[in-house]
């Protein structure tokens, strides 16, 4: 007696959801596609926002930018909530290990008083700058159009909040968790002349209503200056002062800002390539932002680094912008 087992293939009736099929065709979709594309409500809103009754809840006119397809701003990292949390958890495991090593070996005791004072005065107040960055990206999440953009903006907002918290942790690592360093940093932020340009920029930028102008200001210009001045030039100064151990505590910031750049560069490049209108608008915004941010960082860079430092940061941002199809206007 023989037993013959036959196999048969069962073809699924549908490969994906209807809204995914309309965009990508009848083929299996990735999880990123399923949770990111065409899921934002577009019609049948029950009410208008009380704070802006001239707008709908999801409105394309919260920015002067124009797009034929707002879902063109796809994230090259393909982050949705699950993948984002997993990636950032790995970064957090690393930085927590670094802080534990720094504290266990009591490495703060090997830092000179000059280094500690300079870190407190010229690094810790950036926690306030990062809190502003958090609000900038919250604006993109609240008023942006298309889930591919708005979900990535909220992830970026949380990244900047995390950076602010780890900057605070550096202060606590230096003062033995007393919190004195954070109070000193707050006084520097409120009173030291080197910080008043940045403080003014942060406060005034929060009144901007166009979320994509804020997106450009934050991701291209402000993050560009912070990366070059704080996490490269200031980091190099620490090395020359035998304080290279502090580099372990800022690794999270470098990795996170580098990861955000992969996404934001793609978004800006896509927007600029969409139309001449967008490119002209982005060039105008870039020129304005570059002038404002350079002026804001100049007092800090002069006091913390050198007079030439801010010019080097400006050039680095301009070179990055050129790769995205942008350049500052000569008459801006």
φ and ψ at 217, to 5 degrees? Answer: -55, -45
CA distance 17 to 299: 55
Rounded to the nearest 10 degrees, what angle do helices 276-304 and 309-323 cross at? Answer: 160
Instruction: Give the closest residue to 169 by CA, choosing from 86, 240, 98.
Output: 98
Instruction: Say if residues 231 and 257 touch (Cβ distance below 8 Å).
Output: yes
Instruction: Give the closest residue to 293 by CA, choosing from 219, 236, 182.
Output: 219
CA distance 226 to 228: 6
Instruction: Say if residues 264 and 219 touch (Cβ distance below 8 Å).
Output: yes
- Give the start-end residues of each E strand in the chain: none
Instruction: Give the closest residue to 76 by CA, choosing from 274, 323, 267.
Output: 267
- Domain ranges within the chain, ordered by starting residue: 73-323
Q: How many CB atoms sit inside 10 A of residue 8's CB?
A: 4
CA distance 244 to 93: 21
Q: How many CB atoms sit inside 10 A of residue 272's CB?
A: 21
What's the N-to-C CA distance of the chain in angstroms? 90
Helix (H, G, I), strand (E, B) or coil at 12: coil
Instruction: Give Dmax over CA atoms of the chain in angstroms.
Output: 94
Residue 331: what pLDDT?
52
Dihedral sign (CA 282, 283, 287, 288): negative
CA distance 274 to 156: 23
Residue 12: what pLDDT?
81
Please tell me the pTM assigned to this model: 0.94
Torsion from C-alpha of 286, 287, 291, 297, nearest 10 degrees = 20
List the chain pLDDT tens, one digit each, 332 residues: 677 777 878 888 888 889 999 999 989 899 999 999 999 998 888 889 998 999 998 999 999 999 999 999 999 999 999 999 999 999 999 999 999 999 999 999 999 999 999 999 999 999 999 999 999 999 999 999 999 999 999 999 999 999 999 999 999 999 999 999 999 999 999 999 999 999 999 999 999 999 999 999 999 999 999 999 999 999 999 999 999 999 999 999 999 999 999 999 999 999 999 999 999 999 999 999 999 999 999 999 999 999 999 999 999 999 999 999 998 886 54
CA distance 77 to 262: 8
Q: In sequence order, which ranges of the chain are alpha helices (DSSP H)?
A: 18-24, 31-36, 81-104, 113-122, 126-143, 147-175, 180-191, 193-205, 211-216, 223-228, 235-240, 251-274, 276-304, 309-323
Instruction: Say if residues 197 and 295 touch (Cβ distance below 8 Å).
Output: yes
Q: Angle 301-306-307 (CA atoms, 0-180°, nearest 5)? A: 80
- Give the start-end residues of each E strand in 113-225: none
CATH architecture of 73-323: Orthogonal Bundle (1.10)
Phi-psi region of 90 (alpha: psi -120 to 50; beta: other; left: phi over 0): alpha
Which residues does 53 contact at the CB level (< 8 Å), separation at least 6? none
CA distance 184 to 179: 9
């Amino acid at each position: 007696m023989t037993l013959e087992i036959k196999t048969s293939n069962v073809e699924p009736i549908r490969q994906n959801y209807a809204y995914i099929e309309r965009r990508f065709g009848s083929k299996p979709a990735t999880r990123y596609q399923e949770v990111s594309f065409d899921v934002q409500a577009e019609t049948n809103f029950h009410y208008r926002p009380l704070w802006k009754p001239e707008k709908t809840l999801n409105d394309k006119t919260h920015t002067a930018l124009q797009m034929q397809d707002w879902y063109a701003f796809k994230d090259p990292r393909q982050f949705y909530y699950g993948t984002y949390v997993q990636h950032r958890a790995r970064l957090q495991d690393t930085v927590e290990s670094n802080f534990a090593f720094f504290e266990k070996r009591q490495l703060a005791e090997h830092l000179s008083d000059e280094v500690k004072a300079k870190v407190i005065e010229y690094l810790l107040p950036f926690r306030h700058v990062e809190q502003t960055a958090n609000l900038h990206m919250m604006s993109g999440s609240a008023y942006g159009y298309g889930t591919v953009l708005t979900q990535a903006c909220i992830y970026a907002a949380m990244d900047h909040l995390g950076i602010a918290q780890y900057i605070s942790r550096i202060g606590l690592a230096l003062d033995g968790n007393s919190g004195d360093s954070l109070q000193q940093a707050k006084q520097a932020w409120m009173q030291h002349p080197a910080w008043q340009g940045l403080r003014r920029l942060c406060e005034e930028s929060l009144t901007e209503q166009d979320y994509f102008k804020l997106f450009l200001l934050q991701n291209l210009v402000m993050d560009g200056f912070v990366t070059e001045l704080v996490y490269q030039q200031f980091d190099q100064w620490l090395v020359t002062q035998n304080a290279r151990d502090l580099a372990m505590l800022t690794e999270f910031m470098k990795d996170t800002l580098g990861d955000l750049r992969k996404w934001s560069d793609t978004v800006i490049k896509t927007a600029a390539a969409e139309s001449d209108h967008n490119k002209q608008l982005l060039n105008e915004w870039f020129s304005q932002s570059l002038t404002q941010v350079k002026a804001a960082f100049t007092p800090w860079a002069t006091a913390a680094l050198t007079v030439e430092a801010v010019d080097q940061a400006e050039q680095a941002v301009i070179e990055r912008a050129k790769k995205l199809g942008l350049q500052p206007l000569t008459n801006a």
